[in-house]
Amino acid sequence: MAGACEGKVALVTGASRGLGKAIAQRLADEGATVGLTARTMEPDPRYQGSLRQTLEEITAAGGSAIAIQADLSKPEDRERLFAEMVERAGAPDILVNNAAVTFLRPLDEFPERRVRLMLEMHVLAPMHLTQLAIPAMRQSGRGWVLNITLARWRSAGWAAVFRVRPHSRIRGLRHRQGGAEQAHEKPCGRALRRWHRGQRRRPVQPGGHPGRRHA
């Protein structure tokens, strides 16, 4: 029996560990060809997880994936990532903007470079990648964009899901996030089917660590 994402192409950022890795694995389980991206390509003792490990786990389970190293805080890396993704796997039908960086500092001690980095990762990178993905989604008549954010000062963050239709504006749904460990229990394939029908989905909450880049 074909999976819910059979024949689709997905791009997942921050796929070296955590929620991004879990989403990428689930999409692959559901039949999607998954593009994995993060800063950490090879295993590094300073970090938990790497793109190489995620890629090997997906392929060992019979899934299809490619890994592309990129620093999404740099516009030129985002352009290169998307071009390589299209060349190697095709334009994504599903885009998951999951990569993030979080620093918690007193306001009067917060350096400007950290603020700019957070703006690049949390605002500009997701917007840029979405802009790159939309033309092909509209042309094919299908597409989903999932934006995941982390609000450490709240009990949970928010995820925004956008459905792209031809000749129409992008429509969005906001989903309250639950627990990170639910990523496998809440199949992304089933979630995608429900979003396609316009139904709300019980959300997932990404894990996080203050002052660490989740990519």
Segments forming the whole domain that contains residue 131:
9-208
pLDDT at position 169: 42
Residue type, 115: V
Domain annotation covers residue 1: no
Q: Is residue 168 part of a domain?
A: yes
Residue 215 in domain: no
* Whole-number pLDDT of residue 66: 98
CATH of the domain at 143: 3.40.50.720
Query: Is the residue at 87 inside a domain?
Result: yes
Other beta carbons less than 10 A from residue 167's beta carbon: 6
Mean pLDDT across 114-137: 92
Helix boundaries (H) for the chain: 18-29, 51-60, 75-89, 112-119, 125-140, 188-196
CB 143 within 8 A of CB 133: yes
| 83 closest CA partner among 29, 28, 11, 33 | 11
Least confident of 22-26, 127-131, 176-180: 176-180
**What does the alpha-carbon distance between residue 123 and residue 149 come to, in Å, rounded to a whole number?**
10
pLDDT digits (tens, 9 = 90+) for 107-116: 888 888 888 8
What's the pTM?
A: 0.74
SS3 208: coil
Type of residue at 187: P
| 33 vs 196: which has the higher pLDDT | 33
pLDDT computed for residue 47 by the predictor? 82
Asked, for residue 23, whether it belongs to a domain, the answer is: yes
Q: Is the pLDDT of residue 52 over 90?
A: yes
How deeply is 1 buried, as exposed, middle or buried, from its count of CB atoms within 10 A (0-12, 13-18, 19+)? exposed
3-state helix, strand, coil in the chain (%, to 5): 40, 20, 40
Tally the domains of the chain: 1
> For the segment 191-211, what is each residue's pLDDT rounded down to a tens digit?
444 444 433 333 344 444 444
In a domain, 2, yes or no: no
- Residue 196, in any domain of the structure: yes
- CA distances to 34, 64, 120, 141, 158 from 21, rounded to whole Å, are 11, 14, 21, 27, 18
Higher-confidence residue: 149 or 69?
A: 69
